[in-house]
Structure 1
Amino acid sequence: MNDQCRVALEIAPGSPHRLGAHFDGDGTNFAVFSENATRVKLCIFSADGLHELQRIDLPERTGSVWHGYLQGLKPGTLYGYRVEGPYTPENGHRFNPNKLLLDPYTREFHGLFSEHPSTFGYQVGSPQVDLSFDDRDSAPHVPKSVVSDPLSFLTDAKTLGRGWDDAFCYEAHVKGTTKLHPAVAETLRGTYDGLSSPAFLEHLTRLGVTAVELLPVQALKSEGALQARSLVNYWGYNTIGFFAPEPRYFGPSGVLGFRAMVDRFHEAGIEVILDVVYNHSGEGDHLGPTLSFRGLDNASYYRLLDGQRRYYVNDTGCGNTLNVSHPFVLRMVMDSLRFWVQTMGVDGFRFDLAVSLCRERHGFDMHGGFLDSLRQDPVLAGVKLIAEPWDVGPGGYQLGKFPPPFAEWNDRYRDTVRRFWRGDGHSAQDLGSALLGSADLFDTGGRRSWSSVNFAAAHDGFTLADTTRYVKRHNEANGENNRDGHQSNYSDNFGVEGMSDDTVIVEARRQRVRNILATVLLSQGTPMILAGDEGGNSQDGNNNAYCQDNETSWIDWQSLDDGLIEFTSALSGFRRRHAAVRQNSFLHGMSRTTDGRPDVEWRDFDGSALNWRDPGLSSLCLLLRGCAECSAGLQSEDEVLLAFNREPRDLELVLPDSGTGQWIWEINSSSDIQVAEPVTGASVLVAPQSVAAFTLRRHEGA
């Protein structure tokens, strides 16, 4: 649509049923929700987005949906909305028709955001603050929505459909993962195209990764406060377009590169999980800009404070909270999720600050509207659902409280593993629960052991290597006087803060990293590692690198430790081969094996029963039994012995009776290289500060 808009267009009533702008081959139907508006105008722009060519009233309102149909209006047309209604912030209404608004359902943006004063609904600097009214046109300073070509967004995508049983997740940032990758073409680095390049897929295959969990890729806006410090929102937790792939990761394929990326991951047998941020929007608090939801219907899209509707409920800590209790806001979230599955082929979602989505007026509700809608949806029934089970609102920590089929990020697991290997008192008892999938938290309502997503490091916090190099956070570059980020990191620097050239310290740190990787990959539940942790990537002690779009956060591939990568690959291979360490059911010492023996036994190194009441307990062993499917589809017993030696000396490990079989030592975290070695005696020496894993090989016919 270009010059055709320079003449008046006749608009027909159109349909309210499908929200957004949709071309049907002859023209485009527009439909947008606003419950409290008095008038909605569709604005058509020139192809460069610089000139508003026409304003057209949407002629029909059906319930809370305003709609109209323009014959002949083609894909590629740039548009936005201006919405009239009361401007009474004290009552929760912030309509201002001088502000051009993005369509919440747009799949593409044209142009960039700015911090121009005209993008705010009020007069910046006014003594009345946000109670004032700004009448400047914001259109020159905001992106435009795009009428998409339906052929670019076909609903024919297929998910990979892998189960949870062998899941191994890899949390990655689209840009930072490949920006410095020497084997990725320079023109593709930091893009969707680059992330699915053969070099990176080969690396993931080497690691045995089954799912990549991507930090937010829905279109976002960096906060003005960050831009004032010449920084950006690097992580992406500030969404403004829930249907649009973030343009800053576009490569040569443009918006089509996202679907192509997912397809290439699927060809490699790897699922794609998106970290999604439906708990708040990028419009910020009451002093933020008016870009979309605020101007369309502030009182419907956001949760406002009772009795003080000028202000937002801030359960997210990000300035506002989306009101998913409203049916049309909930509909937007559900439509968005289905879009990413049906059109983009996404295999699952990790819900940021998921408690905010599940909080009704009376508090967190596992049977609230969001969870009920999500769990009954036939399109979403087969995808992976992961909750970040906390926010900063009242009663905001709900670890273990989400219903099936959710898995949950288990931060208690993270802290337990770090504390154990640091040598904290009483941490061995906590580790016992963590190794068995934190059944005390998750074994309710028929949930499976994979419900616990086990990680020792993620995007938020120290990298795994930095937990062995820094005691204090070093976030000075964030411009917040080092006040931001976690204070409780349960980290250790081995006597030197930061990098060291002392070979003893360097090797001790590598040993700690191997121990933690081994613990994560050998625990019941779903293991997840942060991209780069497999090779010792560092962020120089920054534990809140959300605004560092630079070498601080980009993975330095040429500095990664190939020995650690090989060790991680060996651990993943062991987990894949041995179902005993990744069982579906929680283990409680019950007799579920064919020979009547219990599924798990806790042992001391000398073969005696473990004394959980020992306040000095620092080392432990567990014997796991389970059924593994062989290639012929038959059932066979899988028996694994895990030993965790936290002592600074060798410990003699008395092996269980092997019967007619033989114990094979397969994992030894005191070395990078893993070689399976048969054990000939009744005991072995396990190295100081290390993890060992043994499997029982039964003789033919036994």
Structure 2
Amino acid sequence: MTTRMLSGHHHTLGAHWDGEGVNFALFSAHAEAVELCLYDVTGQTETARYTLPEKTHEVWHGYLSGLDPGAVYGYRVYGPYNPQAGHRFNHHKLLLDPYARQLIGEFRWNDAHFGYRRDDPEEDLSFDTRDNAPFMPKCVVTAPSVFADDTRPKKPDVSWSQTVIYETHVRGFTLQHPDVPELARGKFAGLGHPKIIAYLKALGITSVELLPVQAFSDEHFVYEKGLRNYWGYNTSSFFAPHTAYLNENDAAEFRHMVDNFHQAGLEVLLDVVYNHTSESNRLGPTMSFRGIDNASYYRLQAENPRYYVNDTGCGNTLNVSHPRVLQLVMDSLRYWSSDMGVDGFRFDLAPVMGREPKGFNPRASFFQAIAQDPQLSRIKLIAEPWDIGPGGYQLGNFPAPWSEWNDDYRDTVRRFWRREPGQLPTLARRLHGSGDIFERSGRRPYASVNFITSHDGFTLRDLVSYQQRHNSANGENNNDGHRENLSENFGVEGPTDDAAIETARRRQQRNLLATLLVSQGTPMILAGDELGRSQQGNNNAYCQDNELNWIDWPSLGKHSEDLNAFVTLLLKLRADYRILSHPSYIHPPHRPESYDIKWLNSDGLEMREEHWQEHHSFLLGYLLTGPHDEQSRVTLLVIFNNSTQQQEFQLPDYQAESGESALCWRWLVDTIQERGIPERPSAASGEKLNIDERSVAILGCNKDIRFAQGTSND
């Protein structure tokens, strides 16, 4: 290796090997000098230190010939330590390269990470000279990507209208799976194992959404309680995969997992956190961005730059309005989409990405950058449409082609099934794909990502078993997590030996799942809900890296198998009856050959205005009809009965031709049954059915439905 650093170039940020050496480039507008520190292969011993010799357009850069992939490094950045002016440079702190594609070692908490002296009365106005390098992970130079090889499986390119999302966690999903090799459990290799992929394919989902896999660390307050950040929403590196999910500490392991999913026709979506970083507020650690250029990377309070804008609730907010920070996010997204093969992203606290000085703007620079990008504009983009900043709730306001987590859907369905009065009109809108929220801006039903549960909150099993949160294990005196869960425990809080309560809870899980999977829009299932997984009433299990979060595969019994079979049945139904996932909003037709949607009362006739005003009615028919020239699977009827007793429902009539059988209606799903498989014979047009209390009945007919009277509400 040469002992002299050459000037190199500023064009490509990060560390890039060209076959003869490595070019290093780091953006910092306000730094006075930048040192590159090289380490041995273990990352424990510093072997050399070089000053980057050039600064071009606010990018510090240098070139070392003879340096190869696998080289380990970090940065020390010199500049003013003046928090009141927004600057927090401290060259005593080893920093991660924001563009590092691989890390070695783990972040270990130590007071040396703080840029100030924690025992000083002036807090962050003081200056700490301890070296944090022994406790920091280090960056690793990687070889140029070889992932563009044409022999790799092509992306499945699942249409939005056919997408079914399965939200899961790399570690928790496989850590206790007996068919996954022990060394692969809890890793990318385990999630990409053939047994896991076969399970997901058999279930019927199309797209796996992974909780954060970009390198993250534990928050200090979590560490002090002896807990771990399990979910991963505390990102420290936007390019490097989380090292704990790697077997051989090779970033290519992630791409191999993605290739396995693609080979099976399944998509991989990533939950990404570009709204804040792991450096927290002014009293947080100095790990990367804060020490490289605090005033550029973060949004600071204009009246006092010592303090951070905290629209995220996590202590800081990334300054995506800055062109270099926007470039960082865009480069990161392109890397994961192209080099790593990812099919789409779900953006945590997404309003942050569009917030400008006057508030949220759907035409903010970030959204425009995405829209004009030939690669990113074609993949799946999902927003979590809320944060805690001013005007932070933005459901329905993201631009096309974005989709959004629809918490209004979640809450409406929960309210209906726990028998809150007056829910029928809103329930119909949510079943319709929330056109009242999304269609007004010209967007499609799949813009609504419908969900009953997610990683944040109760699992489905807990939703029907607990009235209150039980978060004491989190060490916050049960004060964290959502206070109101719109849940129902059926008379007993938590586990019970009462057979009647258990039966009611299992049926309610089926009711909720059935509602989700017959709704227009994009359904999302929380991993383990199809197995009845419980978190013992913890609705904020972000810090529980233990059996509370891990799926206990060895202990699954008959009820888990039954529920899994039920979800499989529903997903097959959704795939067979494409009218359930129509790519456009369905309205009463102007032409006979059009698709149609109708809302029915117990007489099998269209709901009238007075029916919608019956606040204590819990019976609704949902009828979908396809073009008349289709030969089969054109008409679907879903009957929701959340009454406390059996209700009579008259099936719609149709115009029978001479000699035609009247037994049009065939039972497809009945949530009374543990596996949803009906035990009822076909029914005749116009026949009156007894629909059991608190259940969902789904029937299909391939005839032309005729209505003699009634008006449509849609």
2:236 counterpart SS class: strand
Q: Which residue is 1:514 aligned to? A: 510
Code of the aligned partner of 1:568: V
Q: Which residue of 2 aligns with 1:671?
A: 673
Selected match of 1:113 from 84, 92, 107: 107
| Offset at residue 659 of structure 1 (A) | 3.3
Partners of 2:145 and 2:339 within 8 A in 1: no
Q: Which amino acid aligns with 1:146?
A: V
Are 2:98 and 1:104 equivalent residues in the alignment? Answer: yes
User: What does the per-residue CA deviation read over 1:539-587, in whole Å, with 9 as the maximum and x for residues that have no partner?
Assistant: 0000000000000011122235110000000000000000111111112
For residues 310-325 of structure 1, the aligned pairs below 5 Å read: 310-325=306-321
Q: Tell me the equivalent position of 1:142.
A: 136
Equivalence for 1:689: 694
The answer to whether the 8 Å contact 1:578/1:628 transfers is: no
Structure 1 residue 538, shift from structure 2 partner = 0.2
Corresponding residue number in structure 2 for 1:47:
41
* CA–CA distance in structure 1, aligned partners of residues 473 and 192 of structure 2: 31
How many residues align? The count is 687
For 1:240 and 1:153, how far apart are their aligned partners in 2? 24
- Extract unaligned runs of 5+ from structure 2: 705-714
Q: Which moved more, 1:345-354 or 1:199-208?
A: 199-208
Q: Is the 8 A contact 2:577 2:633 kept in 1?
A: no
Q: Percent identity?
A: 51
Pair 383,67 (structure 1): closer, same or farther in 2 beyond 3 Å: same
User: How many Å apart are 1:104 and its aligned residue?
Assistant: 0.3
Q: Is the 8 A contact 1:413 1:455 kept in 2?
A: yes
Q: Partner amino acid for 1:356?
A: V
Question: More deviation in 69-78 or 658-667?
Answer: 658-667
Provide closer, same or farther for how the CA distance between residues 506 and 206 of structure 1 changes in structure 2, counting only shifts above 3 A. same
Q: 1:635 to 1:294 in 2, by over 3 A?
A: farther
* Separation of aligned partners in 1, 2:676 and 2:312: 44
Q: Which residue of 2 aligns with 1:574?
A: 573
Q: Distance in 2 between matches of 1:401 and 1:15?
A: 41
Q: For residues 172-230 of structure 1, what are the alpha-carbon distances to aligned partners after superposition, in whole Å with 9 as ceiling and x for unaligned?
A: 00000111122222222111111111221121112100000100000001111111111
| CA shift in 2, pair 1:121/1:635, >3 Å | farther
Q: Give the secondary structure class of the aligned counterpart of 1:429.
A: helix
Cα-to-partner distance string for 1:387-427 (whole Å, 9 max, x where unaligned): 00000000000001111101100011111111111111112
CA distance in 2, matches of 1:246, 1:574: 37
Letter in 2 for 1:663: W
Say which SS state the counterpart of residue 239 (structure 1) adopts: coil
Report if aligned partners of 2:101, 2:251 keep a CA contact under 8 Å in 1. no
Normalised by the length of structure 1, the TM-score is 0.95
Q: In the alignment, does 2:239 pair up with 1:239?
A: no
1:408 and 2:404 are equivalent in the alignment: yes
Q: CA 1:58–1:628 in 2, change beyond 3 Å: closer, same or farther?
A: farther
Letter in 2 for 1:683: K
Question: What RMSD in Å do the two structures reach over aligned CA positions?
Answer: 1.8
Distance 1:535 1:415 in 2: 22
Q: 2:102, 2:250 within 8 Å by CA — same for their partners in 1?
A: no
Residue 637 of structure 1 and its aligned partner are, at CA, apart by 7.2
One-letter amino acid of the structure 2 residue matched with residue 548 of structure 1: Q
What is the aligned partner in structure 2 of residue 607 from structure 1? 604
Counting only pairs closer than 5 Å after superposition, residues 445-524 of structure 1 correspond to structure 2 as 445-524=441-520
Q: 1:345 to 1:627 in 2, by over 3 A?
A: farther
Question: Are the structure 2 counterparts of residues 304 and 663 from structure 1 closer, same or farther at C-alpha, using a change threshold of 3 Å?
Answer: same
- Give the match's secondary structure for 1:61: strand
1:450 Cα deviation after fit: 0.6
Deviation, 1:448, is 0.5
Matched, 1:171 2:176: no
1:534 equivalent to 2:530? Answer: yes
Secondary structure of residue in 1 paired with 2:515: helix
Separation in 1 of the partners of 2:292 and 2:350? 25
TM-score, scaled to structure 2: 0.94
Q: Which moved more, 1:298-307 or 1:606-615?
A: 606-615
User: Is contact 1:352-1:388 (8 Å) kept?
Assistant: yes
State the Cα deviation string for residues 488-507 of structure 1 (Å, max 9, x = none).
10001111000011110000
**Counterpart amino acid of residue 694 in structure 1:** L
> What's the offset of the Cα at 1:44?
1.1
The structural deviation recorded for 1:696 is 1.2
SS of the aligned residue for 2:497 comes to coil
Deviations 1:572-615 (A, max 9, x none): 00000001111111123233551x6x611111021233211112
Return the offset for 1:262: 0.5
Q: Corresponding residue for 2:521?
A: 525
The answer on 1:563 being equivalent to 2:565 is: no
Q: Which residue of 2 aligns with 1:584?
A: 583
Task: Confirm whether residue 347 of structure 1 aligns to residue 343 of structure 2.
Answer: yes
Matches within 5 A, 1:651-666: 651-660=647-656, 662-666=664-668
Q: Distance in 2 between matches of 1:230 and 1:675?
A: 47
Gaps of 5+ in 1: none
Shift of 1:160: 2.3
* Range that drifts further, 514-523 or 445-454: 445-454
- Taking the TM superposition and a 5 Å limit, the aligned residue runs for 1:131-210 are 131-151=125-145, 158-210=154-206
Matched residue type, 1:626:
G
Alpha-carbon separation, structure 2, partners of 1:268 and 1:354: 30
- What CA distance in whole angstroms lies between the structure 1 residues aligned with 2:631 and 2:94? 63
1:270 aligns with 2:266: yes
Give the AA of the match of 2:614: D
Counterpart residue type for residue 578 of structure 2: A
Change (3 A) 1:549 1:250: same
Q: How does 1:348-363 map to 2 (within 5 A)?
A: 348-363=344-359
Cα distance, 1:294 vs. partner? 0.3
Change (3 A) 1:551 1:593: farther
Contact 2:635-2:703 at 8 Å conserved across structures: no
- Summarize the Cα distance change of 1:637–1:198 in structure 2 as closer, same or farther, 3 Å threshold: closer
Partner SS for 1:221? coil
Deviates more, 1:613-622 or 1:680-689: 680-689
Pick the aligned partner of 2:117 from 101, 123, 144.
Answer: 123
The 1:329–1:155 alpha-carbon spacing in structure 2 relative to 1, beyond 3 Å, is farther
Whole-angstrom CA distance in 1 between matches of 2:189 and 2:378:
26
